[in-house]
Structure 1
């Protein structure tokens, strides 16, 4: 049976990546033979959805796979609904890929009955996002100190924060502990929905990643008050760190990557690692990450799995929930 040059090159590439990543030598090559489904277990307009659209754009426009790519948003439950769909309907299917992030890891820490990251096979990381605290552009709060002092002056759970996922909840938890006051999280399916609530005046603030708020930051519709890391962003030089403002919060970041259904064979894993390497090296991706004040963090295969194990420990330590 003859094969096209394209299939041959894709197959050799997949086998080469597998040999390099697993150390077990040559394996049966694999390429997609039907449409690929990219599952986004979060709502439209959030950080995961935005990243998924860029990954999809690169895969399609640069013709990285020989078949079509279909996007499928399945939000809810901090990623549990989308991952549950994969576990129930797409088990061992190498034609299914899924966006994963810190939310899919933190959700089961906070809600042990919610199985998310443990139900998929990690493939590759793309980037890391830091966090800021945002208020509406016309808010009376001009500084993080003014905001913090007002929170501390009120009863617990009087101040409402919009959240687009459990990483946002984690940010609110960290901020609450630093102030000694409980802030009330109002949960939405995505950062986009949380932003809409903030713009509508339905919540007092949000903790989120720059990429979810960038357009509205530039327009002045929202205002960043404080940074959850040790250094200011070059893109926001006037926004101080929490620590500069006397609020002691630990550093944490949102990782964002790609996974597959549990049980997919190693040849298919190697193929998608190779595809994601090309995605990460794309000028389109590099521009997207730079424009959204994120950090490039390409990690693949077993190295990604180790990274996630370390992140799990960090998240549990920050939340005071040991394994």
Structure 2
């Protein structure tokens, strides 16, 4: 009887022990992505997942849960079992912008997740219609100052909104915001000159640049983009103090065992150095920036402060 009780207790204790490195992963790993299939971030996530899966030794399933500025995906992962089998492709939309714009969230951007590694930084460009009299960013600022309240800017996502607000404040210009449900709709009106400026990703804009319908005046990246090496950074164009970053990182539910987090980090760090993956990322204007968990945690904290500061300075009240 004593032997039976002892054996039962040992079995219970073993079942309750945190996941060991040898036990993980024990099945397909789900990567929840807050963008629709075919979007730039989805393309990036799928390339990383394919490469990381080879090192993990298990399939990695990309689960697209778009909508609500990434909050649907973030909530899904925050509530998932913390065993390393469910991961979040987290971006500044859900973890920086939404917390700055909303009073209540179904998750805590810091406490609900275990940071694993930064994945990379997106390139955002400042686009204007080709009919604009401005051929440089200083010329656009001068044009806006000469026409206060007469020019519109499009926002297809929260990153574009916060970027525009900070740009307007730094440049001391008054532009009218026009909100869209996504970048595709926003860029249509930019092409028709119903709006005069927008911050957007390269995948939509480059096609229209080639056709001569749009003009790009600057990139929000700290360095020039290899996609358009002749386009200056915001700082080079004379807009100093612009510090809104568009980024992506990998997260697990809070409480995920460290052995699982380590294995995941190693797999994705290797993927971020995979030449085939890097070729995909470059086409999407995405620069790989693998990091430690602590570095990613600091990025989340820093961007929360920056987004909230920009939102409050613009007089926008969280809803």
Checking the alignment, whether the CA contact within 8 Å between 1:30 and 1:267 is kept in structure 2 is no
Checking the alignment, whether the CA contact within 8 Å between 1:136 and 1:198 is kept in structure 2 is yes
Which residue in the other structure is 1:184 paired with? Answer: 177
Aligned equivalent of 1:75, options 62, 66, 70: 66
Secondary structure of the residue that 2:84 maps to in structure 1? coil
Secondary structure of the residue that 2:248 maps to in structure 1? strand
CA deviation after TM superposition for structure 1 residue 219, in Å: 5.1
Checking the alignment, whether the CA contact within 8 Å between 1:30 and 1:271 is kept in structure 2 is no
Aligned ranges for residues 140-289 of structure 1 at < 5 Å?
141-154=134-147, 156=149, 159-164=152-157, 166-177=158-169, 178-189=171-182, 191=183, 194-195=186-187, 198-199=190-191, 203-210=195-202, 213-218=205-210, 220=212, 222-228=214-220, 232-233=224-225, 235-243=227-235, 245-289=237-281
Checking the alignment, whether the CA contact within 8 Å between 1:44 and 1:192 is kept in structure 2 is no
Structure 1, unpaired ranges of 5+ = 1-25
What is the number of residues matched between the two proteins?
Answer: 291
CA deviation after TM superposition for structure 1 residue 149, in Å: 4.0
Bigger-Rg structure (1/2): 2
Q: Residues of 1 paired with 2:190 and 2:39: CA distance?
A: 14
- Distance change >3 Å, CA 224–CA 129, structure 1 → 2: same
CA RMSD of aligned residues (A): 3.3
Which residue in the other structure is 1:43 paired with? Answer: 36
Q: Residues of 2 paired with 1:228 and 1:278: CA distance?
A: 27
Checking the alignment, whether the CA contact within 8 Å between 2:125 and 2:202 is kept in structure 1 is yes
Which residue in the other structure is 1:103 paired with? Answer: 93
Q: Residues of 1 paired with 2:38 and 2:194: CA distance?
A: 18
Divergent runs of 4+, >6 A = none
Q: TM-score, normalized by length of structure 1? A: 0.74
CA deviation after TM superposition for structure 1 residue 102, in Å: 1.7
